[in-house]
Amino acid sequence: MLYVVGHKNPDTDSICSAIVLAHFLDAYPARQGNLNPETEFVLRKFGVMEPELITSAEGKEIVLVDHSEKSQSLDDLEKGKLVGVIDHHKIGTTTSEPILYYAKPVGSTATVIAELYFKNAMDLIGGKNKELTPDLAGLLLSAIISDTVLFKSPTTTDLDKEMAKKLAEIANIEDIDAFGMEILKAKSVVGKMKPEEIITMDYKDFEFNGKKVGIGQVEVIDVSEVEDKKEEIYKLLEEKLKNEGYDLILFLITDIMKEGSEALVVGNKEVFEKAFNVKVEGNSVFLEGVMSRKKQVVPPLEKAYNE
Amino acid sequence: MLYVVGHKNPDTDSICSAIVLAHFLDAYPARQGNLNPETEFVLRKFGVMEPELITSAEGKEIVLVDHSEKSQSLDDLEKGKLVGVIDHHKIGTTTSEPILYYAKPVGSTATVIAELYFKNAMDLIGGKNKELTPDLAGLLLSAIISDTVLFKSPTTTDLDKEMAKKLAEIANIEDIDAFGMEILKAKSVVGKMKPEEIITMDYKDFEFNGKKVGIGQVEVIDVSEVEDKKEEIYKLLEEKLKNEGYDLILFLITDIMKEGSEALVVGNKEVFEKAFNVKVEGNSVFLEGVMSRKKQVVPPLEKAYNE
């Protein structure tokens, strides 16, 4: 029983990459949590079923997509058999045995999968060189758009744009930009969400030098959507910090149009200020140009913890 | 300046994979130490120059082949820029930024590189789809033979055999078995070597649960070659253990014909006995069927340390 599964608090890349890779590996796609509104919109748009919810690796062979960190993975991963990782993040784990590991520094895991498909090279990772149907091409395209914030994120590479174009042809999507704005708007439904839902929508745990750090992110087209909820979000983060043993929690409100993020900082402000060379006045600070947790937030923070 | 470099105490796979991958990446091949007699034989046979010796990563972009563990890599790796890893071992490191990482559980790194070549997929890892000349094909073939002990090691996969056949055609080698015995004999020159040379020929450091562990290996066709040197090897290992802060040193004398290894055990014998469920009488014990450090020695040992 081979399962393909993305990270906790799944985003569109984790869900869509799991579905499409499972197709090529003759495996079961799975998810570790509820779909966010953007992903729901994407699956409905292309008429694809949501993957099975799994909470245990026991008795399963597992391929991880879109993550490798233990803290973002199934809690009992060691009870299953990890056979592979397909990812676009930093290398987040070591293993005790050789496995398949394929990661590239590109904008999304969907990009990595699309490239293998177009290179006819699915067999390199143990898959079959089958057809990519229009609905599955649409999922990969959506995942690229979501993870690169319609190619605006600094994580975006030429390969992401090239794959998006080729996928759009198969998916019969003529105007990538218009389609992309639809997706980003679906993501930007925070106006209707409760503060506790906003926090968990895209939230990841890390361990830096033995300290527990949480980093959440929400991307908005219009900052006013969250303006009146910030105070309550901050209170909830303070409670979370206390109750769950965090050293630091960051919550990034990323303004897609302004191309930067307001960071709410709870806990160890010193290490945050050192990492970003800023001064936090009150509860938050605006980080100009910062849109990517993976590329612009995690590396300086990890470095600051290790100094 | 992009360099491709294998592990410390380089073996034939580390040297040949670095040379061939550097060809496809338009990079410089490098090595971290002296060639062993087998690798010297292989390079002479195919008329290929030895790679440049490097001891520092400073100012260099680095692609690692055939390893990822920090303990086997350049001491100041963090002073350079690690851009990629191509390997066939367990995932041995985490990173703080996304990089290219491609590892497969097959018999050699050369197998991974050969497959990318025959799939015309060198561009997946940032290389060019150039020609593989007969001399370079000969190097990859030699590396596969060396790492799989002529396909006898339990790490051997069908892909190793398939790649070896295809490489032999390009390299104009008609009888792989006869050629393989030539290589293994060149490896088996321990009869002429000093004990201190035998120890360092293929020696790797590991860290298990915070403890420093060294595992050396020598492969012989005829055990009598080392019989009269075992006592002195043991004494040298005891000194090494004391002087360099090891918790345990294993030295495997692998008998290619008997398909097993005599393990000299210095230091923490309890953890060794637990790992292999054996009793060490005197200084050593014969491990039936054990030929692969990577697949049969490291995993149970790491497990025993973590229990």
Of B91, B119, B298, the CB nearest to A101: B91
Same domain for B164 and B77: yes
Chain A within 8 Å of B295 (Cβ-Cβ)?
Answer: yes
Residues of chain A contacting B88 with CB distance shorter than 8 Å = 98
Of A88, A90, A95, the CB nearest to B96: A90
Same domain for B31 and B161: yes
Same domain for A218 and A183: no
Contacts with A210 (C-beta within 8 Å, 6 or more apart), sequence order: none
Chain B within 8 Å of A129 (Cβ-Cβ)?
Answer: no
Of A95, A294, A302, the CB nearest to B98: A294
Q: Which two tokens stand for residue B178?
A: 């006869």
CA distance B269 to B289: 20
Strands A100-103 and B100-103, how do they pair? Answer: antiparallel
CATH of the domain at A91: 3.90.1640.10
pLDDT at B258: 83
Domain hosting residue A122, numbered range = 2-187
Smallest Cα distance from A235 to chain B, Å: 30
Same domain for B247 and B150: no
Q: What is the ipTM of this complex?
A: 0.78
* pLDDT by 10s per residue, chain A, length 307: 999 999 999 999 999 999 999 999 999 999 999 998 899 999 999 999 999 999 999 999 999 999 999 999 999 999 999 999 999 999 999 998 999 999 999 999 999 999 999 999 999 999 999 999 999 999 999 999 999 999 999 899 999 999 999 999 999 999 999 999 899 888 767 777 889 989 998 899 999 999 999 999 998 877 777 888 999 999 999 999 999 999 999 999 998 878 899 999 999 999 999 999 999 988 999 999 999 998 899 999 999 999 8
CA distance A65 to A87: 5
Same domain for B181 and B79: yes
Same domain for B223 and B75: no
Question: At which residue do the structure tokens 């177009």 appear?
Answer: A118
Domain count, chain A: 2
Cα atoms found within 13 Å of the Cα of residue B279, Cβ hemisphere only: 1
pLDDT at B188: 66
B91, A103: Cβ pair inside 8 Å?
no
> How far from B173 is each of B112, B134, B138, B148, B162, CA to CA, in Å?
20, 10, 8, 18, 14
Same domain for A199 and A164: no
A103, B101: Cβ pair inside 8 Å?
yes
Same domain for A198 and A167: no
Reported as a single tens digit per residue, the pLDDT across B82-97 is 999 999 999 999 998 9
A224, A258 Cβ separation under 8 angstroms: no
**How many other CB atoms are found less than 10 A from the CB of residue A208?**
19
Distance of CA B277 to the CA centre of its chain: 26
Q: Which residues pair with A181 in a beta bridge?
A: none
pLDDT at B256: 82
B97, A116: Cβ pair inside 8 Å?
no
Spell out where chain B has E strands.
2-5, 28-31, 52-53, 61-65, 81-87, 100-103, 203-208, 211-220, 248-255, 260-267, 284-288
Same domain for A152 and A81: yes
b/e burial code for range A253-281 (CB count within 10 A of at least 16 → b): bbbbeeebbbbbbbbbeebbebbbeeeee
pLDDT at B251: 96
Chain B within 8 Å of A113 (Cβ-Cβ)?
Answer: no
Chain A within 8 Å of B53 (Cβ-Cβ)?
Answer: no
Largest Cα–Cα separation, chain A: 55
Q: Which two tokens stand for residue A267?
A: 């806990």
pLDDT at A24: 98
Q: Mark which of B142, B163, B187 sits at the end of a domain.
A: B187
**Residue from B68, B104, B156 whose CB has the most chain A CBs within 10 Å, to mutate:** B104
B105, A90: Cβ pair inside 8 Å?
no
Amino acid found at A148: T
> Which residues of chain B, if any, have pLDDT below 50?
none
Chain A within 8 Å of B129 (Cβ-Cβ)?
Answer: no
Contacting B residues, span 195-234, partner chain A, CB-CB under 8 Å: none
Q: Mark which of A187, A215, A233 sits at the end of a domain.
A: A187
> How far from A80 is each of A77, A84, A257, B8, B295, CA to CA, in Å?
6, 12, 43, 33, 19
Q: Which two tokens stand for residue B65?
A: 């082949």
pLDDT at B126: 96
pLDDT at B175: 97
pLDDT at B84: 98
Chain B within 8 Å of A162 (Cβ-Cβ)?
Answer: no
A178, A214 Cβ separation under 8 angstroms: no
Amino acid found at A202: D
Chain B within 8 Å of A118 (Cβ-Cβ)?
Answer: no
Contacting A residues, span 63-92, partner chain B, CB-CB under 8 Å: 85, 88-92
Same domain for A251 and A201: yes
CA distance A20 to A109: 11
Q: Mark which of A152, A168, A187 sits at the end of a domain.
A: A187
CA distance A192 to A196: 12
CATH of the domain at A248: 3.10.310.20
pLDDT at A188: 67
Residues of chain B contacting A101 with CB distance shorter than 8 Å = 91, 101-103
Instruction: Indicate if the alpha-carbon torsion angle B56, B60, B65, B68 is positive or negative.
Output: positive
Phi/psi at A248 (5° precision)? -155, 140
A104, B104: Cβ pair inside 8 Å?
no
Same domain for A268 and A161: no
The number of residues in chain A equals 307
Same domain for A258 and A138: no
Residues of chain B contacting A105 with CB distance shorter than 8 Å = 97-100
Residue A202: helix, strand or coil by DSSP?
Answer: coil
